[in-house]
């Protein structure tokens, strides 16, 4: 075979984020589901698997693995130390934990500790055995802070390293200089969020909401609620605090129907019934923020198809993404 014929037979490989948008892939239901998410400041260099990085403590990696094997859903995110938020010789660790009663946002416990104590405090908060007296002076009272994590993990995926870093730079510049919200928003570079074919991807904490195909206008909208939430339907991956992909689909339906008031409202979402055909009856109990009256919505979700998830600049696919549709909704 000649060099020319080999070139002609070579497939036209594309970055996974470009292919995903060309296929108009709907990202809903792709947010990783967790009960706890531990966010740790970790200095570079970062490996493709963040827990294998040079500066990552083996004891933390082992503890997260142990808890996941025991049935807990623990998510790890690392963030790069930042001159604006970090302190020399100190490391930040934040535990976001599912509220057992209401789905609105995760409970936050944040500490800024000397590097030598990082492993010790990570193990303590993961085991729910934090010594409040010992670590009280390191606790940060940042319950009103909103953390926007932008995946720029280039060693994991080229899309996150190439198209997400310019977005991070724009957001960091704007939300550092904006006096109106300065101090209330932190912009971080984070490790792999899952679903890099949706790059740029962001996580909005403590809401635990994952977003796809991010740009500055979109991020401005979710922070300031400046545009109709319906404009963001194709950017929403789902809320990590829910129990299943069908529940993530159901929650988006309500979010789009009810608008921005839905985000901060007290709500409970649960699956009442699931069938062998992969259809699900999802119930939501919701307190209307305008009338303060309780509402109950039942939504039926059914499986429609599975679509392949693309490799980045490689042939073949990595697996399949299950898609659902709303077949029975509700009247507002």
Q: Has residue 161 been placed in a domain?
A: yes
Residue 250 within any structural domain of the chain: no
* Complete edge-to-edge strand list for the sheet that includes strand 294-310: 267-274, 279-287, 294-310, 317-328
Between CA 283 and CA 252, with CA 74 as vertex, the angle to 5 degrees is: 30
Q: Which of 56-70, 121-135, 224-238 has the lowest mean pLDDT?
A: 121-135
Q: Let me know if residue 312 belongs to a domain.
A: no
Residue 76: closest CA among 203, 253, 252, 196? 203
Residues 6+ apart with CB under 8 A from 2: none
Question: Which range is least confidently modeled, 146-150, 224-228, 288-292?
Answer: 288-292
Q: Which domain holds residue 111?
A: 21-242
Structure-block tokens of residue 51: 């827990």
Residue 153 lies in a domain: yes
**Overall average pLDDT of the 299-328 stretch:** 76
User: Quick one: which H or E segment has residue 301?
Assistant: strand 294-310
Is the separation of the CB atoms in 39 and 78 below 8 Å? Answer: yes
Distance CA 96, CA 85 (A): 18
Who's near 57: CB < 8 A, 6+ residues apart?
118, 119, 122
Please enumerate in sequence order all residues whose Cβ is within 8 A of that of 232, keeping only pairs 6 or more positions apart, or say none. 211, 218, 221, 222
SS3 content of the chain, % helix, strand, coil (to 5): 30, 30, 40
Q: Which CATH number does the domain housing residue 45 bear?
A: 3.40.30.10
* Assigned domain for 247 exists: no
Q: What is the pLDDT of residue 260?
A: 93
At residue 207, φ and ψ (nearest 5 deg) are -65, -25
Q: 112 is written with which tokens?
A: 């800024």
DSSP collapsed to 3 states, 180-200: CCCCCEEEEEECCCCCHHHCC
Tokens at residue 248, please? 């993530």
Q: pLDDT tens, 203-240?
A: 999 999 999 999 999 999 999 998 999 999 999 999 99
Residue 303 lies in a domain: no
Pairwise CA distance, residues 194 & 29, whole Å: 12
Strand runs labelled E in 154-265: 185-190, 202-205, 209-211, 236-239
Q: Is residue 223 part of a domain?
A: yes
* Structure confidence at residue 31 (pLDDT): 96
Beta bridge partners of 205: 147
What average pLDDT does the chain have? 86
Indicate the number of domains in the chain.
Answer: 1
Calpha distance 280→331 (Å, rounded): 19
Q: What is the average pLDDT across 57-79?
A: 96
- The verdict on residue 291 lying in a domain is no
* Chain segment 254-289, per-residue pLDDT in tens: 999 999 989 988 899 999 999 999 999 999 998 887
Question: Which token pair is 181?
Answer: 């919200």
Of 13 and 88, more confident: 88
pTM value is: 0.89
């Amino acid at each position: 075979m000649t060099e020319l014929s080999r070139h002609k037979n070579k497939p036209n490989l594309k970055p996974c984020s470009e292919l995903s948008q060309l296929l108009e892939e709907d990202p809903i239901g792709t947010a990783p589901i967790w009960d706890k998410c531990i966010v740790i400041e970790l200095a570079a260099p970062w490996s493709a698997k963040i827990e294998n990085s040079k500066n990552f403590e083996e004891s933390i990696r082992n503890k997260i693995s142990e808890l996941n094997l025991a049935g807990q859903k623990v998510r790890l995110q690392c963030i790069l130390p930042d001159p604006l938020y970090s302190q020399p010789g100190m490391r930040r660790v934040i535990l976001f934990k599912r509220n057992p009663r209401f789905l609105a946002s995760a409970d936050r416990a944040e500490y800024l500790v000397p590097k030598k104590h990082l492993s010790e405090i990570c193990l303590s908060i993961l085991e729910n055995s934090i010594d409040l007296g010992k670590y009280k002076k390191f606790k940060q009272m940042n319950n009103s802070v909103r953390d926007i994590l932008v995946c720029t993990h280039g060693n994991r995926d080229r899309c996150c390293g190439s198209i997400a870093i310019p977005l991070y730079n724009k957001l960091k510049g704007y939300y550092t200089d904006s006096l109106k919200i300065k101090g209330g928003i932190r912009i971080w570079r984070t490790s792999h969020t899952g679903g890099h074919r949706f790059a740029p991807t962001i996580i909005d904490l403590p809401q635990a909401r994952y977003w796809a195909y991010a740009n500055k206008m979109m991020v401005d909208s979710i922070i300031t609620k400046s545009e109709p939430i319906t404009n963001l339907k194709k950017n929403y991956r789902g809320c990590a605090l829910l129990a299943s992909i069908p529940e993530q689909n159901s929650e988006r339906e309500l979010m789009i129907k009810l608008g921005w008031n839905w985000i901060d409202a007290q709500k409970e979402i649960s699956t009442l019934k699931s069938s062998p055909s992969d259809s699900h009856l999802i119930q939501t109990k919701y307190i209307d923020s305008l009338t303060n009256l309780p509402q109950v919505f039942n939504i039926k979700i059914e499986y429609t198809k599975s679509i392949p998830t693309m490799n980045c600049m490689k042939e073949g696919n990595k697996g399949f993404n299950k898609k659902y549709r709303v077949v029975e909704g509700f009247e507002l």
